[in-house]
Structure 1
Amino acid sequence: MVMEWILAVIAVVFLLFVLAGTVMVAAAFKKNIIAEEILLDSLPEPFDGYRILFITDIHRRRLPKDLLEPYKGRVDAVFLGGDMTEKGNKVERLADNMAFLASLAPVYAVHGNHDYRTNITLADNIIRGSGARLLVDENAVIERDGATLLLTGVDFPKKGGKKAYAPLPPVSPQEALLFRIILVHDPLWLSQQKTLPADLVLAGHTHGGQVVLPFGISMHADPFYKRYNAGHYNYAKGDGSGAQAKLLISRGFGTAHLPVRWRSPSEMHVLTLRRGQDGSARPDPWH
């Protein structure tokens, strides 16, 4: 009788484990687009309404063309926050994803840690061959209706580590006055910056914890991620003015290591930049 009871308990536990695994795998392959307006008081007026398709951490997923195709001609740029591929991913999939994104709008990208674990020369040739601008510690000037903003791409350290980043690329005195967006894979980069010369920072890498257990337990151990995990934040520029930059950390579209998610859904973003001060983000009625 005792043995039968033990076997029954084991069977229930096994079934619950299988069910939880099925749910987590299904969650890993969902396709969510979050459309928001980001309010920025220093945004040049001609960039009011500028739309960015922001995607990070694709890893080995195939982008959903049926979901993204309607944005062709309706977004002004595509920003890729790193981990566009990973070790073992088919180069044909990376090529197909990049070619598709380049058909939607001009593409700007930075490396992530998993990109450097692949054949990086081949991956970079595919990325650049699609027409995308790969920013390796570089600035890109974006113009619209006579106004200009500066996009800075921070490259992930080839040897890893939060202290191995190169300095931000230099800017001219005129460029230093421009509205500036920094695109960086890992938001932990921020913890090593004494000052933050930017108005908006876009990052990924965290996957929002990917599998978030009770009591907030997730895969990231660094204390920085306890506070800056996923979503919108204000981040002090540290220049003595009291000014703050807007920070968005995406949960990303793909998954790292195992194709599972729990309480941290995959996401892509359509971000509409707006001049304004009443909050950091709000749903985009255009969407």
Structure 2
Amino acid sequence: MSALIWASAGVALVGLSLIYRMINEAFRNKVIPIEIEMDRLPTSFDGSRILLITDIHRRKLPNTLLMSLKGQVDWVFLAGDIMEKNVPMSRVKNNMQLLRCVAPVYAVHGNHDYKAKTSSLDKMLEQCDIELLMNSNVRLDKNGDHVWLTGMDYPPFRKRSYPALPKLPITEMETCRIVLVHDPAWINRFSVKPADLTFAGHTHGGQINLPFFGLISLDKEYHHIACGLFQWKQPNAVVKTATLLVSRGFGYRHLPLRLRCPAEMHLITLRSSKVDG
């Protein structure tokens, strides 16, 4: 009988340890640094930094961590799911005001933003001086040069029925282009990838990554782009090397539990392949 009690206690301890780990991963506050080299990036943009945050959902952003990046970041990009249904707007506003203190902010909608009704969110983003991109382009300038940022809005009515990529001025077709989109499956629409760099979220990296069984809660169509950095070599295209970065996101779906898939933000340093050394 005592052996059974000890065995039960051991199982309970393992279970509690696992739950503790899953909660800890779900509430992790960490910025992942990464460098991305781009063929068409102007040399004046070499060393530029972008803070990428996706899928905040209902979490509160860490004040001390983010304020430590003030003056170290050129732009903040929000790749959708800025909030979700029933999240207090006061919390969302505090998150956005904090990010706006770090650097200029550009955002796109995610599917949960639409489920929460975007009218209040959009008004609040405007009040916080955050530029919402809805299938539109904006020029990012630095040191007398520029790149184009395109924000693709999440389709509110029919999943992944994205419109055509908004056109750049005819004289800008050779200019470096970055796309901000919530759903990484957007890139599958193109046999030839149209942007030098694309940022996305949505997948949460699968959120639960079980040993042997893998990403049990993620649709199979996303398994090959669940999270991380992906590249396509296109020697005959205008964009010779297309890069996609998919973030695991900062928040969580449903229960605050993650396994082998911790929450993250990204601090991206852009590098121009034209810079020697």
- Same-fold call, TM > 0.5? yes
Alignment of 1:231-246 (within 5 A): 231-236=228-233, 243-246=240-243
User: How much does 1:238 deviate?
Assistant: 9.4
Q: How many residues align?
A: 274
Amino acid at match of 1:119: K
Q: 1:160 to 1:257 in 2, by over 3 A?
A: farther
* Structure-2 separation of matches of 1:70 and 1:142: 23
2:83 alignment partner, SS class:
coil
- 2:46 match: 48
Is the 1:49–1:273 Cα contact (8 Å) retained in structure 2? yes
User: How much does 1:48 deviate?
Assistant: 0.9
User: How much does 1:70 deviate?
Assistant: 1.7
User: How much does 1:143 deviate?
Assistant: 1.0
- 2:207 match: 210
Q: Indicate yes or no: 2:269 matched with 1:267.
A: no
Q: 1:277 to 1:262 in 2, by over 3 A?
A: farther
**Superposed CA offset, 1:223-261 (max 9, x none):** 3x2211111110355965783301111111111111111
Q: 1:67 to 1:171 in 2, by over 3 A?
A: same
- 1:138 match: 136
**Superposed CA offset, 1:38-96 (max 9, x none):** 11121111111111111111111111110110211221110111111011111001000
- Percent of aligned positions with the same letter in both sequences? 43
Q: 1:152 to 1:238 in 2, by over 3 A?
A: farther
- 1:169 match: 166
- 1:148 match: 146
- 2:217 match: 219
- Structure 1: which 5+ residue stretches go unaligned? 279-287
Is the 2:40–2:175 Cα contact (8 Å) retained in structure 1? no
2:208 alignment partner, SS class:
coil
Alignment of 1:70-89 (within 5 A): 70-89=68-87
**RMSD (Å) for aligned C-alpha atoms:** 2.1
Length-normalised TM-score, structure 1: 0.88
Q: 1:103 to 1:33 in 2, by over 3 A?
A: same
- Structure 2: which 5+ residue stretches go unaligned? none
Amino acid at match of 1:235: W
Length-normalised TM-score, structure 2: 0.91
* Structure-2 separation of matches of 1:247 and 1:6: 51
1:36 alignment partner, SS class:
strand
